[in-house]
Each structure stands twice: as C-alpha cells, then as structure tokens.
A and B are shown apart, each in its own frame.
Chain A
Amino acid sequence: MISDVRVPKISLIATALGVVICLIGMFVDPARTAAAYLVAYMSCLAVVLGNLAMIMIARTTAATWFVALRRQAEQVTATLPVFAVLFIPILVALPVLYPWTHAETIALPVRELVQQKTAYLNVPFFVIRAIVYLATWIILGELLRRGSLAQDHGDTAGIERHMRVTSAVGLVAFAFTVSFAAFDWMMSLAPAWYSTIYGVDYFAGAMVGALALLAVLVARGRWRHELPDSVDADHFHSLAKLLITFVLFWVYIGFSQLIVIWSGEIPIERSWYVVRMRGGWELLGGVLVAGHFAFPFLALLVREFKRSVAAMAFLGAWLLAMHYLDVYWIMMPDTPRGSAIGYWLDLGSLLLVGGAASATWAYRRAGESPIADGDPAIDASLGYLTD
C-alpha cells in the first residue's frame, strides 16, 4: 500500500535537512532556533488556515467559481494534522520563547503588567487552548474534506446542505480560534503589549497567503494537465480579484493598528512599533509596504495580468515569500536574537515545516480527483465566465 503512494523526494529531503539544521541549532542557540521554528510554523499554518476559511466562505455563500478550485484547497487543509504534530517542539520550547512562563524574572514595571495576566497566560491553560484550536481546525478540515470526497461518489444533495451548515458554524468557530491562537502563540511573545486587531491582522495575512498558494497550485495543475483546460483565465481572474481585496484588507488592518497606536502615543502600546522602527526592522517594514502591498496592488489592477496563468503563478510565489517576511516582521523582533547562524536556522525551520507539510499534502492527495467532480455545481463552475 505504502509503495503505491509517491511522496516527492524533495519534500523528504527538505524535511530531513531542516531537522538536521534545527537539531544543530538546538545545541548552538536554542532560543534562536525556537524563534525561527515558531515563525516558520506560524507562517505556514496561516496559509493552510486561509485555505480552510476559503472553503468555508465558498460553501456558505455557494460560490460557483470556486467549486472547480475547491479540491486544491481541500488538499491543502489535509495537512492540518501534521501541524498538530509540528506544534510539539513549540510546547517543548515554551520557556525560552515566552517571557510570561517565568514572569517573576521580568524587569519592573512590565513584570506587574504581565503578572496580572497570569490567570490567562499560564502553561496548563495555554496547552489546553492549543489543543482546542488545533482540534477545531482538524475536525473542520476533515469534515469538509470527507464530505467533498463523498460527493465524488454520489449522494450530493444531502451532503451539500450538511457542508453548508458545517461551514457556517465552522466560520464562527474559526474566527475565534484563529484570533485567540494569534494572541496566544504570537502576541504573547511581548506579553505586556496588546492589540485587539492582532488576530484579524494574522487572518488578513493568512488569506493573502492562501490565495497566493492556490494560484501556484492551480497553475501547477494546469501545467501538469491534472486540471481540465476549462479551469482557465476566468478562474484566475476571480482568484485575482479576491486576492487584491485581501491585499487591500491586509494593508488596511495593518495601518489601522499603526494609526490607533501612533495617535494614542501610550508608552506600553507604542513599544511594539518602537522596536520595529529601528535596527533594520524599518527596512523590512518598507519591503513589506512595497512588496506585500504596492507591487501586488498595482499588478492586480491590470486585467491581462489577472487572466494570465504564468503571471498569477509568479505573483502567488512572490506573495508567499512576502507572507513569510510579514510574519517574520510581526514576530521576530520580540524573540531572543543575535545568533551568527540565525538565517540558517530560519531557512532550516522553513524547510522542516514546509517539507513536512508538502509531504503530507502529496501523501494524502494521491489517488484523489484534482477537481470536485461530484459537486452539483461543478459544470457551472467549469464554464464560469467573468469580466
């Protein structure tokens, strides 16, 4: 059975290489290794979660155009269980990552602020919440995947309704879990600081990353002739229109957070931006404004760009890189730093998480139809036209 399933060698090599680099890092600089791993984990997880949200949004709204692409997204969310496994190293590294695990050692006056939050920020409750988040996403992902695969073998109408209800309820659960996961796993790196829009900011980046990955995967499917030719410029056009929406949403949310804090000028709130506006971080911020907003925004205004498979595949790959840098900029300044092999650890962590996720993706999608054949709307979706 296992011999039938082909997992690409490159995924396995990447994972192995990543494991080696991270193991070396654990002995050289454990704190920096943990930080690099957490950034890689959160950026890859965001892309998968964005795909989960996309499936639920499309199911809830009965979006016709997305039916032809939905299987590609479902195969991405099939990697969610491996993210539960990949979370274990983060649990091991809790003490080196999160200052609130040893609040008594933080300098005053920040210590008092953090100690007031220990009813929420403590290790047992953190672990329980993490289990709840991961379980919620895996259950939603598997339910939606299983339903869609069952539709391939008939009984479409009953499943259709079940999927819509699951998605509508799932979106509410998704909104809470993703927002709180961002608070727990990312924002608590700086435990005294807070921003209520933080979870939405993570979600905005997740949707950009998810649509970017879909553009790459659909282009790949076209070039390998896995997808029919009727998945064409009109589908890329729709994908691109949604992508420009979320590029704008990302910059809007990011700017909202900045303008509120900049106007308020409250020391504990502004500390987050003070760190990010010096020491080279301001350059990375500039790269993000140009590469995560200005360039994709201008490119996606052009009709021919949106309808070109090659152009959208390129932009997808570009935005995935930008998405990683975005998560890096959000998280890394608040983690222990200063290692000579830091960038190697970043690369190794990305290889580990990306390799493991892509291997899972290849393993679980083997033998599946690349499009949702059994969906009642599949013919309408394949013939979808837009302008």
Chain B
Amino acid sequence: MRDRTWSAGAYLAEFSSPAELKSAVRELSTRGYTGLETYSPVPVECGIRRSYSPLPVVVFLAGLFGGIASYAIQWYANAYAYPLDIGGRPPHAVPAFIIPTFEGTVLCAAIAAFIGFFVVTRLPQPWHPVFEIDGFERATVDRYWLAVDASDRRGAPDLTIRELRALSPLRIVHLEAES
C-alpha cells in the first residue's frame, strides 16, 4: 500500500535529548507550523495537538447497527413471520430479545474496531519514508527526531530549513516527494 503521508516530502531534524526535541516543537508550533511529527525512544510530552481517530464514531455506529439488526431479525422471525407460543409468552418477547441484541451490538462493534484499527493506522505498513534515512533506527535507542511536512502551510522550503537549522539539530534530512 502506498503511503500517503508527506506527499510533498518532508524535512527531518535529529536531536540528542528529549529537552531539545521539546523546545524545538514548542518553537515551531509558536511559529505556526502544524504538520509536525516526532519520533522518540521514550514518551516525550511535546504538546503536539493530538489528532483524534474517527474510530470511536465508526465503532459506535457499527454497534448501533448490530443492535438494531439483531433485534429486527428476532422480531421478524419470532413475532412477525413465524410466531410460536413458547410457554405462553408473547411472540414479541422483549426480555428474551435483549440478550441477542446485546451480543449483536458487541459483535459488530468489536469487528468494526478490529478492522477499523488496521484501516485507520494503515497497518500493516512494511515501508515508511523515514526508513530511507541512514541511522534513523536510533530513534528507538537514543535519538529524538522531528519531522515537518513539506506541505505545511508555511511551506517555503528555504524558510523551513533555515528555521530548523536555527534549532541546531545534529543534522537535517530532506525527504523528496515521491514521483
């Protein structure tokens, strides 16, 4: 699957400490950058505004669908199409219908959550642009990386590179847009 991140390329800067990464994010955020991403071996609270996944809404709607569908199929089979007298109870037996309705809700919500997770995270993802950078694997050991989407609204490449350089990172890498 082709990766859609950074369709216009990206600029990456490598830092050696979480404090530097933090102040770099703060600096660029106040300058109006929005397309920021960080990579670090330990959690670093950088104050990047989190983007929320659409998954909760999808799971909720799937659960709602599962519940309504489960109830409807029971009503159709037991109360409408083929009503049966079971122990003198009404064909439209609400208490008995609730249990499969609950199960149907959970089933659909769980399946939607499972499949939706892979769609939203675009996993499995065997390749990512950052893998092209030599030494990037140290982001899992002792290096802290900051990435700026080249399509960020401040856009102008020279400006971005100049402002990244002002943060005095170990190095700056430019990932070209894929053709």
Contact = CB atoms under 8 A, between A and B. Distances in A.
Nearest to B59: A301
Interface in A254-282: 255, 258-259, 262-263, 265
Interface residues of A, number: 7
Q: Is the interface of A mostly helix, strand, loop or mixed?
A: helix
Contacts of A259: 95-96, 98-99
Interface string B82-121: 0000011100000110110000000000000000000000
Contact of A265 (B56, B87, B98, B99): B87
Interface of B: 56, 60, 87-89, 95-96, 98-99
Interface of A: 255, 258-259, 262-263, 265, 301
11 contacts: A255-B95, A255-B98, A258-B95, A259-B95, A259-B96, A262-B95, A263-B96, A265-B87, A265-B88, A265-B89, A301-B60
Interface centre among B56, B88, B95, B98 (most CB of A within 10 A): B95
B109 to A, nearest CB: 11
A301 B96 CA distance: 26
A296 to B, nearest CB: 16
A12 to B, nearest CB: 47
Q: Is the interface of B mostly helix, strand, loop or mixed?
A: helix
Contacts of A258: 95
Contacts of A262: 95-96
A97 B95 CA distance: 32
Considering the complex of A and B, which 8 residue pairs feature the smallest CB-CB distances, nearest first? A262-B95, A259-B95, A258-B95, A265-B87, A255-B98, A301-B60, A259-B99, A263-B96
Contacts of A255: 95, 98
Contacts of B60: 301
A301 B88 CA distance: 39
A263 B87 CA distance: 9
A262 B86 CA distance: 13
Contacts of A265: 87-89
Contacts of B96: 259, 262-263
Contacts of B89: 265
A258 B60 CA distance: 27
B122 to A, nearest CB: 22
A265 B56 CA distance: 40
Contacts of A301: 56, 60
Given A259-B95, A265-B87, 11 more contacts: A255-B95, A255-B98, A258-B95, A259-B96, A259-B99, A262-B96, A263-B95, A263-B96, A265-B88, A265-B89, A301-B60
A181 B98 CA distance: 31
A259 B87 CA distance: 14
Nearest to A298: B60
A262 B96 CA distance: 9
A156 B155 CA distance: 57
Nearest to A255: B98
A65 B156 CA distance: 46
B60 to A, nearest CB: 7
A265 B96 CA distance: 13
A263 B98 CA distance: 13
Nearest to A252: B102
A258 B56 CA distance: 31
B131 to A, nearest CB: 28
Nearest to A258: B95
Nearest to B50: A387
Nearest to B45: A385
Contacts of B87: 265
B92 to A, nearest CB: 14
A380 B152 CA distance: 38
A301 B99 CA distance: 21
Contacts of B95: 255, 258-259, 262-263
A286 to B, nearest CB: 12
A130 B96 CA distance: 38
A21 to B, nearest CB: 39
Contacts of B88: 265
A259 B98 CA distance: 9
A374 to B, nearest CB: 29
Nearest to B95: A262
A284 B99 CA distance: 22
B63 to A, nearest CB: 10
A259 B89 CA distance: 13
A265 to B, nearest CB: 6
A255 B89 CA distance: 18
Nearest to A262: B95
